[in-house]
Amino acid sequence: MAGGRRRGGGGRRGGPRQHPENQEPTPSPASLSPAATMAQQNGGTAPKTGRPKKPVEEPVARAPDVDSLGFQAMDRNVPGLSHVILQKLNMKSYEDYKSAMDGRKSGSDFGIRTYFDMFQKMEDTFKFCAECKKLPNALPDPKSLRRCKRCQNVYYCGVACQRANWPLHKKFCKKLKLVALDRLVEWLVFTGDIPFPTETWTKPAQDVEGWEDWFSMQGQLEEKLGAILAGRYMTLLWANAGKPRPEDGELRESVRRLVTDFHSRPLTIGLGLRLFGIDPLAKALTVHVVGASHVETLNARLTDYDELTRMFPGHRGMEVVMVGVDVVDGPIMRPPLATPAPQGRVYLSSYKGLYHDFWESHVETKLAARPDLVVGFHPGFHACPDLLAGWLPTLLLLRDYRLPVLFTVYSEQELKSSLQILVELETHIMGYATNPFASLRPEQVYSSPNKAPVYCSSYYITLLGPVASAVPGAEELEDGDGWQGGEPSAAGAAGSIAPGLG
């Protein structure tokens, strides 16, 4: 949606992400993940009561709400699941949930008093039979649901359903085990244990072709991972999660995946700067994140994008402005800069509203700088006509002002659908390829877990102006070593994703 929102998440510091296939949140809703629940309760501190925050005024302009579409899709797959989610969060309606995502509810509003209670409530929202889709209250014995011992993720109401589902479930069981582990360990993002401290890159950005190269530059990596595993909050997690603590090797890999998930967005921005030949060492830069929501801004810290400084040491200053109707109030809720960002620093700011409104009120009046790059993480305008209609003013603005744009998507199917829309809008597509800095954390479709997991920012699309425009340097982008299958190169700016992808 135009400066609106889409994902998300994952969870993530954030909330439900819209799955490309069925308009349903991919991971657990944000408040149901232990990470985001604690984000509403002063980070990693113990659950406690408190006064609700003073409501934040909503902007008049609203784009279609993709989270509400996700809740509807959830109930189509598992009738009544959205009600269970709201019930576990001590909420009466979707509007209550939305208020929580906007940062207008305190931890006490969720009815959570202990760590064990927090983890248990989250787990309860996954309790439905993966075969017949029945919830506990639809069974003769609500406690009869049993979890798959292999993946510790999906549930069955009995042996018959488990056997019937096994031919399908066995395809995804191993990956779903990783999903279940990561959504618990994600809590350590909010306690501050993840990510570990990083260092200035020892290789030029163009030589870092993916996460393997990135991890190779992290000094004392094993010691840093070991400190997280031995930390207080990792111990608290497994004392209250209701599951046995996994082996250290599994936990180390989980931490690594979550580190990539945390840094994926800043490194994807850095990739966009390189693809368009924008040099951070030549001048101070401004990046707009369009369609930002609670996914990018819930519990966001002022230092979250500092990896860009390690990626481009000696840069002249960068400002990253989060623009969206669902930007959450917090430290980064401060006005965009009208002057260049401080040298050597990444400055985060935000605007709560639609992007085309932000452009008129701030960019055109010079209250905010014109962007050198615009990035949209999973914009989702392909998902339904209402979302496309909401995004249209922004897509046309980005096209007509010939702004360098990078969008990310979850899957090849989402890539195809997005490209088709952009072609119909006569937008000049510079290139598209797999993202070398995609998150390595797998995420499941909430109410249909037996599907291939998706990964955030799996692919990127780069755009610049309308089709007919003569774009200096376009040949360099289009003639790069674009990916034709196999491992992508970070230097490969464009290319076809697979034979026959139109």
pLDDT digits (tens, 9 = 90+) for 423-473: 999 999 999 999 999 999 999 887 788 999 999 999 999 999 999 743 444
Domain ranges (residues) in the chain = 67-173, 263-464
Task: Identify which of 50, 69, 95 has the alpha carbon closest to the alpha carbon of residue 381.
Answer: 69
Q: Provide the CB-side half-sphere exposure for 482 (13 A, CA).
A: 22
pLDDT band for 108, please (50, 70, 90 cuts).
Answer: low
pLDDT band for 36, please (50, 70, 90 cuts).
Answer: low
Predicted pLDDT of residue 386: 84
Cβ atoms 143, 127 nearer than 8 A:
no
pLDDT one-digit tens code per residue, 310-341? 999 999 999 999 999 889 888 999 999 999 99
Cβ atoms 415, 461 nearer than 8 A:
yes
pLDDT band for 97, please (50, 70, 90 cuts).
Answer: confident
pLDDT one-digit tens code per residue, 232-284? 999 999 999 999 999 999 999 999 999 999 999 999 999 999 999 999 999 99
Predicted pLDDT of residue 103: 63
pLDDT one-digit tens code per residue, 358-396? 999 999 999 999 999 999 999 999 988 888 998 999 999
SS3 341: coil
On the question of pLDDT at 53 being above 50, the answer is: no
Taking the C-alpha atoms of residue 56 and residue 294, their distance in angstroms, rounded to an integer, is 14
Cα-Cα-Cα-Cα dihedral of 250, 252, 254, 257, to 10°?
-140
Mean pLDDT of 149-154: 94
pLDDT band for 76, please (50, 70, 90 cuts).
Answer: confident
Predicted pLDDT of residue 104: 65
Predicted pLDDT of residue 31: 43
- Beta-sheet strand order (sheet of 346-352): 346-352, 318-324, 285-290, 373-377, 405-409, 459-466, 427-434
Mean pLDDT of 336-364: 96
For residues 107 and 166, the model is more confident at 166
* Residue with token string 């400190």: 227
Task: Give, in order, the Cα–Cα distances in Å from 446 to each of 64, 70, 82, 136.
Answer: 21, 10, 11, 17
Residue 150 CB partners (closer than 8 Å, separation 6+): 173, 174, 177
Lowest-confidence region among 19-23, 168-172, 275-279: 19-23
Secondary structure letter of residue 454 according to DSSP = B
Predicted pLDDT of residue 473: 47
Q: What backbone phi and psi angles, to 5 degrees, belong to 289? A: -100, 105
Average pLDDT of the chain is 82
Predicted pLDDT of residue 47: 52
pTM for the whole structure: 0.84
Contacts of 138-144 with C-beta under 8 Å, sequence gap 24+, read 138/80
| Alpha carbon 151 to its chain's center | 23
Cβ atoms 271, 437 nearer than 8 A:
yes
DSSP β-ladder status, 318-324 and 427-434: unpaired
Query: Which tokens in the block code for residue 7?
Result: 């994902």
Mean pLDDT of 144-162: 95
How far separated are the first and last CA of the chain, in Å rounded?
24
Predicted pLDDT of residue 28: 40
The length of the chain, given as a count of residues:
502
Lowest-confidence region among 260-264, 276-280, 345-349, 485-489: 485-489
On the question of pLDDT at 480 being above 70, the answer is: no
pLDDT band for 29, please (50, 70, 90 cuts).
Answer: very low
Predicted pLDDT of residue 446: 77
Query: Which tokens in the block code for residue 90?
Result: 């001590």
Lowest-confidence region among 109-123, 193-207, 256-270, 309-323: 109-123
Query: Which tokens in the block code for residue 280?
Result: 């951070």
Say how many C-beta atoms besides its own lie within 10 A of residue 486's C-beta.
Answer: 7
Predicted pLDDT of residue 475: 47
SS3 169: helix
For residues 82 and 345, the model is more confident at 345
On the question of pLDDT at 494 being above 70, the answer is: no
Query: Which tokens in the block code for residue 128?
Result: 């439905």
Predicted pLDDT of residue 289: 98
Predicted pLDDT of residue 384: 84
Task: Give, in order, the Cα–Cα distances in Å from 322 to each of 22, 266, 335.
Answer: 27, 12, 10
Helix (H), strand (E) at residue 295: helix 294-297
Topology of domain 263-464 in CATH is Rossmann fold (3.40.50)
Task: Identify which of 296, 228, 307 has the alpha carbon closest to the alpha carbon of residue 260.
Answer: 307
Residue 258 one-letter amino acid: L
* 3-state class percentages of the chain: helix first, strand second, coil last, to nearest 5: 40, 10, 50
On the question of pLDDT at 493 being above 50, the answer is: no
Mean pLDDT of 44-53: 45
CA geometry: angle 137, 109, 44, nearest 5 deg? 105
